[in-house]
Amino acid sequence: MNPLDQNKAPIYEALRRFKSMRVVPFDVPGHKRGRGNPELTSFLGQPCMDVDVNSMKPLDNLCHPVSVIREAEELAAAAFSAKNAFLMVNGTTAAVQAMVFSAVKEGEKIIIPRNVHRSAINALVLSGAIPVYVNPGVNKKLGIPLGMSLESVRDAIEKNPDAKAVFVNNPTYYGICSDLKEIVRIAHRAGMTVLADEAHGTHFYFGDGFPISAMAAGADMAAVSMHKNGGSLTQSSFLLINNYISEGYTRQIINLTQTTSGSYLLMSSLDLSRKNLALNGKDIYKKVLDYANYARDEINKIGGYYAFGKDLIDGKAIYDFDLAKLSVHTRDIGLAGIEVYDMLRDDYDIQIEFGDIGNILAIISVGDTTLMMERLISAMSDIERLHHKSSIGMFDHEYISPDVITTPKEAFYAEKRSVPIEKSSGMVCSEFVMCYPPGIPILAPGERITKEILDYIAYAKEKGCFMTGTEDVNIDYINVI
């Protein structure tokens, strides 16, 4: 058998062998195959507890893989056409942080769009790297931040020739892609590493008709959230590397912060999901695409809603669009996205990914069915029937360009004081403020607080967005330098 036969799932197979050995455990975890916690065992099931085990010779070790985990990583690398792949069990957050830590050190610059996930800016707080923000374009009608236009990246590279890396969302939460291939070309010419946040891009590697994947575009590193729409368990993810990036150094960086007790539940879920996508990904994502396209058409027929797709593409800040994302603009029916999001859950028992001021996003993935799609569309239609109203007076702006005063690290660790948020206009913020999800900071440490930002925060709070990031859980007070 070919050693890189994608039918294989080495971790899963090793766990099955291990189970049949009936080894007596005198190691951790102390629940000892669930016997020590009967209530949990009855809740999660015996098969689950049986494989919640510790690293050992037959099962390899995530920190220093030499056997089955190594094989699983090699199979994953082949499946993603990467030079190396790393199993990640601390979330895609850990993968994003590992990318940033390995590409830039304290005081070094990284070119980064401002609409990144908090995990990227958190990595800057920890590492002390300096962000050079590229303003993502904004679609005024939808109020969403877009991708980076080639001109703005070129401009940032020219103005910051000493920058070490360029960070790209591929795609953004809303499904928008930058011209990654060309960004890679100009970044490499300037000697910079290209890091791709592919938290929402797993399917780019397996389906047809999607935007180009980071590895295919020649990027150097990519963080791929297998759990988001690839079918693995929550918190499991892949880090991919390419080109000249060192495998050993990347592993060292990962091991700085990642757990030494890697969960075999998570690892086996990565192993089996990789196998499933490598073997069946084309068909699976064809179905996903059909569902998403059907839903988009049907939702647009309801009237009032705008389920956007490739029609947004402008060749610049929207170079490509991921059609597997079902993003719907709701403001024209007089409802904020967050309001539709809440109604779907409270009145219709439908949980979608997020709602922001003007849009909602539903994740369509490997696990959906025709009947479930129909429920979502019908619920949207019923909400429109019952709640349609004028959109006059609704906030129509989402992205606010940041005024960066100091680095995230300096601002976060600086001497700070807490002030009532409404009185903070003009001051420099020392912490994050964001709606979660999507988790894109409205304010990041080191940025000037403006009246416009405060109005936005007040509006988001009023509409029921779940705000996080500040030390004060109610976001009534904010830490400033």
Partner 1 sequence: MELWYSENHSDDVKFSLRVEEQLYTKQTEYQRIDVMTSKEFGTFLTLDGLMMVAEKDEFIYHEMIVHVPMSVNPNIKKVLVIGGGDGGTVKQLVRYDTVEAIDLVEIDRDVVEVCKKFLPTVSAGLNDERVNINYEDGLKFVRNTKDKYDLIIVDSTDPFGPGEGLFTREFYGNCYRTLSDDGIMVNQHESPYYENYANSLIRAHRRIKGVFPIHKIYQAHIPTYPSGHWLFGFASNKFDPIKDFNAERWNKLRLDTKYYNTELHMGCFALPNYVKELLDNA
**Taking the complex as a whole, how short is the minimal distance between the CB of residue 381 and partner 1, in angstroms?**
5
Give CA–CA dist 253/394, Å, rounded.
46
224 touches 237 (CB < 8 A): yes
Does 386 bind partner 1 (CB under 8 A)? Our answer is yes
Least distance (Å) between residue 261 CB and partner 1: 36
Under rule CB under 8 A, residue 387 binds partner 1:
no
Residue 159 vs 345, nearer CB to partner 1: 345
Per DSSP bridges, beta strands 109-113 and 165-169 are parallel
Least Å distance, CB 352 to partner 1, is 13
Q: What angle do CA 346, 348, 352 make, to 5 degrees?
A: 80
**How far apart are CB 472 and partner 1 at their closest, in Å?**
36
Residue number with CB closer to partner 1 (256 or 372): 372
Q: Which stretch binds partner 1 (CB under 8 A): 87-95, 110-118, 240-248, 382-390?
A: 382-390
Tell me the closest approach of the beta carbon of residue 369 to partner 1, in angstroms: 10
Is residue 109 within 8 Å of 88, Cβ to Cβ? no
The verdict on 5 binding partner 1 (CB under 8 A) reads no
Q: Is position 385 an interface residue for partner 1 (rule: CB under 8 A)?
A: yes
389 in contact with partner 1 (CB under 8 A):
no
Backbone angles phi and psi of 147, in degrees to 5? -95, -170
- From 124, 118, 65, select the one nearest 89 (Cα to Cα): 65
> 150-159 and 180-189 helices cross at what angle (nearest 10)?
20
Contact between 42 and partner 1 per CB under 8 A: no
Residues 6 or more apart from 382 whose CB is under 8 A from it? 348
If phi over 0 gives left and psi between -120 and 50 gives alpha, with beta otherwise, what is residue 334?
left
Q: Does 362 bind partner 1 (CB under 8 A)?
A: no
Tokens of 3: 């050693």
Q: How far is C-alpha 319 from the chain's CA centre? A: 19
Using rule CB under 8 A, residue 352 touches partner 1: no
**347 near partner 1, rule: CB under 8 A:** yes
Rounded least distance, CB 104 to partner 1, Å: 48
Q: Which residues sit opposite 441 in a β-bridge?
A: 434
Q: Based on CB atoms, which residue is closest to partner 1, 159 or 385?
A: 385
State the residues that interact with partner 1 by CB under 8 A. 347-349, 370-371, 374-375, 377-379, 381-382, 385-386
